[in-house]
Amino acid sequence: MTSWESHAILERKARLLKGRKVVSVIERQLSLTGCSVLDVGTGGGYIAECFQEVVGSNGRVVGADRSRQLPADSTVEYAEINGDQLPFDDASFDVVVSNHVVPHVGPWAAQLRHVAELGRVVRPGGLVFLATPNRWGPFEPNFRVPLLSWWPQFMRNLIVRALGRGESFDVAPLTRPALQRLFRDAGLHPEDVTHEAIRAYSNIEAQGAILPRLLGSLPEMPRRLIAGLFFIPSFLFIARKPKSL
């Protein structure tokens, strides 16, 4: 049986850049001033820190995870997750973020519960942000092996053990159609904003690298075409929760 372990990245500089990218993508959808934000799978809390910078004194940011990994000097409000259910009432937050968490919660049934919980705790009119690696991406980001997730599960396990990277491939990566089905099964209707991630990555995370800067400077339509390639490294989706009638 596969054991599902944490693959949290706790390197501060990289996570702050990632957080600013997430904030940038969401700010193109709504103003974050005064918003309540939940960062699920917060790890070191660095993405949550980036939201603290923009929500202002009337806002609220909570980082939630299954184990506390925040540094001692963190100012992030923290909540422990026990089991599959988030420890919050329905419609508690304006924005709920799940950044590269869904492949780590377990197989399909656990992933569906995860996405359904994101939708449960977001308010009507609020949004769910979800990013995840692409199964067909050229480089598997957790074990850092090219094309690893392309193989069947038993081969992934063999490769991971042979390379001394662990006992098993304890990640369940998704294809784009599978991710879209996951949203639908959870009752959410997302918009693919991967093209916006290309722009934000080039402006924030690329740190001057030439190719990402060129891609990010492209007009929207070419960026959408690139984002639609089957081997794009990761996907970003935003789902708005309908307002009550």
pLDDT digits (tens, 9 = 90+) for 173-208: 999 999 999 999 999 989 999 999 999 988 887 776
For the entire predicted model, the pTM comes to 0.91
pLDDT for 172? 96
Domains in the chain, start-ordered, CATH in brackets?
A: 12-135+173-240 (3.40.50.150)
Asked whether the predicted pLDDT for residue 160 surpasses 60, the reply is yes
Q: Quote the CA–CA distance of 31 and 36 in Å, as a whole number.
A: 11
Asked whether the predicted pLDDT for residue 2 surpasses 70, the reply is no
pLDDT for 242? 84
pLDDT digits (tens, 9 = 90+) for 118-144: 999 999 999 999 999 999 999 999 999
Structure tokens of 33? 């001033």
pLDDT digits (tens, 9 = 90+) for 37-57: 999 999 999 999 999 999 999
pLDDT digits (tens, 9 = 90+) for 5-39: 555 556 788 889 999 999 999 999 999 999 999 99
pLDDT for 5? 54
Structure tokens of 156? 């992934």
HSE-up (13 A, CA, CB side) for residue 209 = 11
Q: Quote the CA–CA distance of 88 and 78 in Å, as a whole number.
A: 12
